[in-house]
Amino acid sequence: MRHEVYSILHTCARWQLVRVNNVKTSIKDIARAAGVSHSTVSRALSDSPLVNEVTRSRIHRLALEMGYSPDAGARSLVRGHTCTVGVVVTTIADPFSAEVVEGIEATAYSHGYSVILAASHDEPEREIAAVEMLRSKRVDAVIVTSSRVGALHQERLGAAGVPVILLNSHSLGGAPHTFSVRVDDQHGARLATEHLLMLGHRRLAHVAGPAGHSPSADRLAGYRAALAGVGVPFDPAQVIAGTGRPAAGEQALPQFLAMAARPTAVFCYNDMTAIGLLRAAHSAGLIVPDDLAIAGFDDIPFATYVSPSLTTIAQPKFELGQQAMSMALTLMSGVAEGVSDVVLQGRLVVRESTRIRG
């Protein structure tokens, strides 16, 4: 990729001015300018009632003129908290966690908290490093999404008095996490599969998610539960391994076509997988939903914009974030103890990729 750099490095008068001004003003500077003590300035700026109205406004004006900005680090040193929460996501460029973070941010903002975001890149090592960084920055709470090692954080930070909330984390061990918010994967998968069954489909198939992930296991379990519910036998051969990415859906199609009992409907681990399958079906000349009905999971923004638009399970992403942040707020206020586990239900959204079996 070509790029051009225009760099004017000659000494610029304005920049020199800037260099001269390169001073961080502290309350002491303001105190000196106002002819008062620095504690009076501190009180004035925090609008304490124990300060004369006239000096108060004079100090406020002075602070503005001198470009004062309070040092959050110094403040938190004495106050003992930072009004900041840390959030760990696997990757920022994931539309799913993006919406979750929006929910967290909205709730945090409305309560005067700010958010530090860190990426784990789905590596336990970097996840730990991220949490450790957040701890060093003395965040008041930590929310970790899709954690691989959530229990560890809860152990370490919990001991330091920092609540850790796990969001959609993998609880493969079976032991419930101390604080967590998650969506009911099994229930959602069951909803989607039951929808396909209700449309008259009997030869179903499933493209699974990444092996070893608990959502993969839960969604598969929901799929099986729905089949069992109507007495359709479960055939392991009709579950294709996947990754959660579009390629997995694309690669699944030939396998479906080669099956003796070719499926008429497929429930995919997530929308990305479903979109890949959709694309492959389109290339192969199959008509969706007539030749093949497809259902996804997540309801990512683009589920509406593919053709045909995608039937899916809408995860309450924004609300997931809200709930996690609310739990953090509660925990920080020191009220709650014990264990609390909020589980939200997904919602079936029927679009064009599924239809009654004609």
Is the distance from CB of 70 to CB of 45 less than 8 angstroms? Answer: yes
> Least distance (Å) from its own copies to the CB of residue 93?
4
> Least distance (Å) from its own copies to the CB of residue 24?
6
Among 27, 101, 191, 253, binds its own copies (CB under 8 A): 101
Task: Give the interface segment with its own copies, choosing from 15-23, 42-50, 166-174, 203-211 (CB under 8 A).
Answer: 15-23
Is the distance from CB of 346 to CB of 313 less than 8 angstroms? Answer: yes
172 binds, among DNA, its own copies, none (CB under 5 to 8 A by kind): none
| CA distance linking residue 134 with residue 146, whole number of Å | 17
27 binds, among its own copies, DNA, none (CB under 5 to 8 A by kind): DNA
Which parts of 65-94 interact with its own copies (CB under 8 A)? 67, 69-74, 76-77, 82, 84, 91-94
Q: Closer CB to DNA, residue 86 or residue 321?
A: 86
58 binds, among DNA, its own copies, none (CB under 5 to 8 A by kind): none
Name the site residues for DNA (rule: CB under 7 A): 24, 26-28, 35-40, 42-43, 45-46, 49-52, 55-56, 68-71, 74-75, 77-79
How far apart are the two ends of the chain, measured CA to CA in Å? 52
305 binds, among DNA, its own copies, none (CB under 5 to 8 A by kind): its own copies
53 scored as a contact of its own copies (CB under 8 A): no
Return all residues near 32 (Cβ < 8 A) that are at least 6 apart: none
What tokens does 314 get?
A: 């809408």
Which residues sit opposite 294 in a β-bridge?
A: 266
3-state secondary structure of 186: helix
Which parts of 249-308 interact with its own copies (CB under 8 A)? 275-276, 278-279, 282, 302, 305-307
> Least distance (Å) from DNA to the CB of residue 143?
23
Which residues sit opposite 312 in a β-bridge?
A: 349
* Cα–Cα separations (whole angstroms), residue 30 to 27, 35, 39, 63, 70: 5, 8, 11, 7, 12
46 binds, among DNA, its own copies, none (CB under 5 to 8 A by kind): DNA
> Least distance (Å) from its own copies to the CB of residue 260?
29
Which parts of 190-249 interact with its own copies (CB under 8 A)? 246
40 binds, among DNA, its own copies, none (CB under 5 to 8 A by kind): DNA
37 binds, among its own copies, DNA, none (CB under 5 to 8 A by kind): DNA
Q: What torsion do the CA atoms of 209, 214, 218, 224 make, to the nearest 10 degrees?
A: 60
* The one-letter amino acid at 24: K
3-state secondary structure of 327: helix
Q: Closer CB to DNA, residue 80 or residue 236?
A: 80
Helix 27-34 / helix 38-45 crossing angle, nearest 10 deg: 110
220 binds, among its own copies, DNA, none (CB under 5 to 8 A by kind): none
Count Cβ atoms within 10 A of the Cβ of residue 38 and give its class: 0-12 exposed, 13-18 middle, 19 or more buried: middle
* The one-letter amino acid at 160: A
Count Cβ atoms within 10 A of the Cβ of residue 203 and give its class: 0-12 exposed, 13-18 middle, 19 or more buried: middle
Q: Closer CB to its own copies, residue 200 or residue 301?
A: 301
99 scored as a contact of its own copies (CB under 8 A): yes
